[in-house]
């Protein structure tokens, strides 16, 4: 009957996992540095020792984890539960020193008022500090490995009366001991904030007395399997960096000096003046949903939108008194021109800017943000091999990365001063 119930629970679990995978669709279970995620899980525990058998005990755990890196989690967890084991005639005969000579179910333990019952159990209280590493990222489910250090408190007793077993009652061993955990699991997103968490762990306990006896000279252990739900305590940034803004018209929020801003750019991976935004496709209407900025870039040679995009939509008329892209007065050129393939972005003190590459960082090598330094505006700067990479956290929780040539320094920029002046007039 015990195994039948376990198989039934596993079948229900598989149904739940299948439902979660169908529900989550194209969501990507990608964690990001700085994520704070809580979880609530139910579990089953199995004890390993002198009296090992097929008994399981229930449990529950509450945890809070922090992503120190995109693929590295640090987690604090506490749990309550129990584990169980059977007392059979064979065990009574084998361990007569503990149960007494010719002992039977219903007798008392030698020197104790506790009755020998067919089942024993122990309360289990745990407090753990875990470190997990995500094996594969950017897929619908994140598999991970876990190691950790934990504190275990036990209280072995018989099952019906809940009377303490003799060695526990006499204080023959400490009730709280350290343990080492190893395990793994998988995290499956159900929505942007909620996920399904499956884990399996083995706990090596520095004690021989999980079952109140120490006959084989080896430490006891516990195995556990858990299923629970996670909740991200802040807005998750976009899964692939940007979405399609299908209801966004190209004319909305287009800068009036768009053509100047998009000089020497042959694709639609450019930004508006006021928002850093990378388009999702060549169609200028399909921009980051969080930014909803217009990708108004044009191929200066062809005079048309890039391949794969729709027809270019003209920018709205410029307000009176402001420069326009159609031949009106424009800002004076920058005092320090940027090299070819770069453009100016406002950064630093008011009226200053930096030279930034036209295209976003592309390549097989990942940027080591753990070696970056924090700038005054809160962005991260990584300097390596003659280039700099700057990562900005946007209002929607997503990151924007730009790059350029070293040294990283802001210089006076007349376009930035002009933009600042126009902002003050609005």
Do 106 and 187 share a domain, yes or no? yes
Do 310 and 419 share a domain, yes or no? no
Residue-wise pLDDT for 322-350, tens only, equals 443 344 444 444 456 777 788 888 888 88
Measured CA to CA, the distance from residue 152 to residue 207 in angstroms comes to 10
In a domain, residue 1? The reply is no
**What is residue 355's predicted lDDT score, i.e. its pLDDT?**
85
| CATH code of the domain in which 131 resides | 2.40.160.20
Do 72 and 205 share a domain, yes or no? yes
Cis peptide before 255 (omega within 30 of 0): no
Residue-wise pLDDT for 22-61, tens only, equals 444 445 556 788 999 999 999 999 999 999 999 999 999 9
Do 203 and 88 share a domain, yes or no? yes
**What is residue 243's predicted lDDT score, i.e. its pLDDT?**
38
- Alpha carbon 231 to its chain centroid, in Å, reads 10
pLDDT average, residue stretch 384-402: 84
Residue-wise pLDDT for 294-318, tens only, equals 444 333 333 333 333 334 334 344 4
Of the candidate ranges 79-88, 165-174, 376-385, the one whose mean pLDDT is the lowest = 376-385
**What is residue 196's predicted lDDT score, i.e. its pLDDT?**
95
In a domain, residue 177? The reply is yes
Of the candidate ranges 20-29, 284-293, 397-406, the one whose mean pLDDT is the lowest = 284-293
Domain stops at, among 309, 330, 351? 330
> What is the chain's mean pLDDT, rounded?
75
Do 345 and 404 share a domain, yes or no? yes
Of the candidate ranges 79-88, 89-98, 269-278, the one whose mean pLDDT is the lowest = 269-278
Do 27 and 134 share a domain, yes or no? yes
pLDDT band at 386 (very low <50, low <70, confident <90, very high): confident
Task: Note whether 264 and 358 are within 8 A (CB).
Answer: yes
Domain stops at, among 295, 330, 365? 330
Among residues of the chain, what percentage have pLDDT more than 70? 67
**What is residue 362's predicted lDDT score, i.e. its pLDDT?**
62
Do 32 and 47 share a domain, yes or no? yes
Do 289 and 170 share a domain, yes or no? no
**What is residue 44's predicted lDDT score, i.e. its pLDDT?**
97
Do 326 and 339 share a domain, yes or no? no
Q: Does the pLDDT value for residue 183 go beyond 60?
A: yes
Do 144 and 264 share a domain, yes or no? no
pLDDT average, residue stretch 276-286: 38
pLDDT band at 414 (very low <50, low <70, confident <90, very high): confident
Measured CA to CA, the distance from residue 157 to residue 166 in angstroms comes to 9
Q: Does the pLDDT value for residue 195 go beyond 80?
A: yes
In a domain, residue 14? The reply is no
What is the phi-psi region of residue 100: left when phi exceeds 0, alpha when psi lies from -120 to 50, beta otherwise? left
Do 37 and 157 share a domain, yes or no? yes
pLDDT average, residue stretch 241-266: 39
pLDDT average, residue stretch 161-184: 95
Number of domains in the chain: 3
Q: Looking up tokens 């091999």, which residue turns up?
A: 385
pLDDT band at 64 (very low <50, low <70, confident <90, very high): very high
Question: Whole domain around residue 355: which residue ranges?
Answer: 335-426
pLDDT band at 11 (very low <50, low <70, confident <90, very high): low
**What is residue 282's predicted lDDT score, i.e. its pLDDT?**
38
Do 388 and 406 share a domain, yes or no? yes
Domain stops at, among 232, 262, 289? 232
Residue-wise pLDDT for 142-163, tens only, equals 999 999 999 999 999 999 999 9
**What is residue 249's predicted lDDT score, i.e. its pLDDT?**
36
């Amino acid at each position: 009957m015990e195994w039948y119930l376990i198989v039934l629970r596993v079948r229900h679990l598989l149904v739940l996992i299948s439902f979660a995978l169908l529900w989550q669709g194209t969501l990507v279970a990608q964690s990001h540095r700085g994520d704070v995620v809580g979880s609530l899980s139910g579990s089953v525990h199995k004890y390993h020792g002198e009296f090992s058998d097929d008994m399981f005990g229930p449990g529950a755990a509450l945890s809070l984890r922090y992503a120190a890196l995109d693929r590295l989690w640090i987690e604090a967890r506490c749990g309550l539960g129990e584990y169980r084991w059977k007392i059979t005639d064979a065990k009574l005969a084998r361990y007569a020193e503990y149960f007494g000579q010719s002992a039977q179910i219903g007798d008392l333990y030698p020197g104790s008022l506790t009755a020998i019952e067919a089942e024993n159990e122990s309360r289990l209280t745990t407090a753990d500090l875990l470190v997990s590493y995500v094996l594969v990222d950017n897929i619908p489910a994140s598999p991970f490995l876990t190691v950790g250090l934990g504190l275990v408190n036990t209280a072995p007793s018989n099952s019906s009366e809940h009377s303490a077993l003799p060695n526990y009652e006499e204080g023959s061993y400490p009730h709280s001991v350290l343990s080492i955990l190893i395990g793994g699991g998988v995290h499956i997103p159900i929505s942007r904030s909620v996920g399904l968490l499956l884990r399996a762990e083995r706990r090596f306990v520095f004690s021989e007395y999980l079952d109140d006896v120490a006959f084989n000279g080896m430490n006891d252990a516990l195995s556990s399997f858990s299923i629970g739900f996670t909740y991200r305590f802040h807005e998750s940034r976009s899964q692939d960096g940007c979405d399609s803004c299908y209801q966004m018209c190209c004319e909305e929020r287009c800068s009036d000096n768009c053509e100047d801003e998009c000089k020497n750019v042959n694709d639609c991976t450019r930004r508006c003046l006021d928002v850093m935004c990378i388009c999702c496709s060549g169609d200028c209407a399909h921009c980051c949903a969080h930014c909803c900025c217009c990708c108004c870039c044009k191929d200066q040679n062809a005079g048309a939108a890039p391949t794969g995009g729709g027809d270019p939509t003209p920018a709205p008329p410029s307000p009176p008194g402001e420069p326009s892209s159609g031949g009106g007065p424009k800002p004076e050129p920058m005092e320090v021109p940027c090299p070819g393939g770069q453009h100016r972005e406002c950064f630093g003190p008011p009226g200053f800017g930096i030279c930034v590459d036209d295209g976003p960082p592309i390549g097989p090598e990942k940027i080591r943000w753990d070696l970056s330094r924090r700038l005054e505006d809160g962005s991260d700067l990584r300097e390596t091999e003659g280039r700099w990479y700057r990562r900005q956290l946007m209002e929607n929780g997503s990151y924007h990365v730009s790059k350029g040539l070293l040294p990283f320094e802001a210089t006076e920029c007349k376009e930035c001063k002009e933009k600042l002046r126009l902002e003050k007039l609005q």
